[in-house]
């Protein structure tokens, strides 16, 4: 049977697949710089702060995904490490910055190009779900602030499920909860290692949204798209 006819549910990753994490995060860090950092040390430029934060945040997220550290540790030290590296860590404002970061970022509405259009196209044709790594409150708020919750029958956040992509458990939990078999599902995500390998671990076909035009050696057999609208040719 043709791929398209077998699919009954379309799962999406959220960050950087539908909701523009890069843009929303960048705008938030600019605000945090304007509200706090420039008063601590006016000689630092915003990009230095943002680059330092991104570096620590990504490293800590990798440790978190691998189960090496807990969420509380990640959230307690990502701003602390950033400020220390910049040599401007004084009193403990890192906890406050982290709260502001999570809340403000998730309130931003910007979506990836053509996200709304492709959701409109798929809506009604398939059941739809989100499988996202992240913290419960923030991930749910993103769906509301960008006004896309209405498209989804199911939302699975790693923090709530207790399993994290690329582990197959979160995908299997999603299938069981939605009542579908792995060959009736397709998963669309931007992160090859986390999303596509993860879905494959659970026997789900992945569509890799390679929006940054990355090259992967020894790539598994998966459909690759550069623009969300390409999904119209597949589903």
Closest distance to Mg ion from the beta carbon of 19 (Å): 9
Among 13, 20, 25, 98, binds Mg ion (CB under 5 A): 13
Taking the least distance from each CB to Mg ion, the nearer of 14 and 185 is 14
Considering only the stretches 13-21, 43-51, 73-81, 86-94, report the one whose residues sit in contact with Mg ion under the rule CB under 5 A: 13-21
> Could you tell me how many residues of this chain bind Mg ion (CB under 5 A)?
5
Among 7, 10, 12, 16, binds Mg ion (CB under 5 A): 16
Considering only the stretches 77-85, 157-165, 182-190, 221-229, report the one whose residues sit in contact with Mg ion under the rule CB under 5 A: 182-190
SS (H, E, C) the chain: CCHHHHCCEEEECCECCCECHHHHHHHHHHHHHHHHHHHHCCCCCHHHHHHHHHHHHHHHHHHHHCCCCCHHHHHHHHHHHHHHHCCCCCCCCHHHHHHHHHHHHHCCCCECCCHHHHHHHHECCEEEEEEECCCHHHHHHHHHHCCCHHHCCEEEEHHHHCCCCCCHHHHHHHHHHHCCCHHHEEEEECCHHHHHHHHHHCCCEEEEECCCCCCCCCCCCCEEECCHHHHHHCC
Residue 43 phi, psi dihedral angles, 5° rounding: -80, -15
Taking the least distance from each CB to Mg ion, the nearer of 13 and 20 is 13
Closest distance to Mg ion from the beta carbon of 5 (Å): 28
Among 7, 10, 15, 82, binds Mg ion (CB under 5 A): 15
User: Quick check: 12 and 19 in contact, CB under 8 A?
Assistant: no
Residue 25 is a binding residue for Mg ion (CB under 5 A): no
Among 190, 198, 208, 210, binds Mg ion (CB under 5 A): 190
Considering only the stretches 89-97, 109-117, 144-152, 188-196, report the one whose residues sit in contact with Mg ion under the rule CB under 5 A: 188-196
Closest distance to Mg ion from the beta carbon of 156 (Å): 14
Considering only the stretches 16-24, 26-34, 50-58, 114-122, report the one whose residues sit in contact with Mg ion under the rule CB under 5 A: 16-24
Taking the least distance from each CB to Mg ion, the nearer of 15 and 20 is 15
Q: Which residues bind Mg ion (CB under 5 A)?
A: 13, 15-16, 190-191
């Amino acid at each position: 049977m043709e791929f398209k006819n077998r699919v009954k549910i379309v799962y999406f990753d959220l960050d950087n697949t539908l909701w523009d994490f890069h843009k929303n995060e960048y705008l938030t860090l600019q605000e945090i710089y304007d509200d706090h950092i420039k008063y601590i040390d006016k000689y630092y430029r915003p990009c230095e702060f943002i680059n330092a934060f991104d570096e620590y945040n990504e490293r800590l997220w990798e440790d978190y995904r691998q189960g090496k550290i807990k969420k509380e540790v990640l959230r307690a030290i990502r701003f602390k490490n950033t400020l220390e590296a910049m040599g401007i860590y004084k009193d403990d404002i890192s906890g406050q910055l982290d709260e502001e970061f999570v809340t403000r970022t998730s309130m931003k509405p910007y979506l990836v190009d053509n996200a709304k259009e492709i959701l409109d196209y798929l809506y009604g044709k398939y059941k739809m779900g989100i499988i996202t790594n992240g913290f419960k409150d923030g991930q749910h708020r993103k769906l509301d602030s960008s006004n896309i919750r209405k498209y989804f029958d199911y939302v699975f956040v790693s923090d709530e499920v207790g399993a994290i992509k690329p582990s197959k458990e979160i995908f299997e939990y999603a299938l069981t909860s939605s009542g579908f078999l792995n060959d009736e599902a397709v998963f669309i995500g931007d992160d090859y290692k986390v999303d596509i390998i993860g879905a494959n671990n659970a026997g789900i076909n992945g569509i890799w949204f390679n929006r940054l035009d990355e090259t992967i050696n020894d790539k598994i057999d998966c459909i690759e798209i550069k623009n969300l609208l390409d999904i119209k040719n597949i589903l």
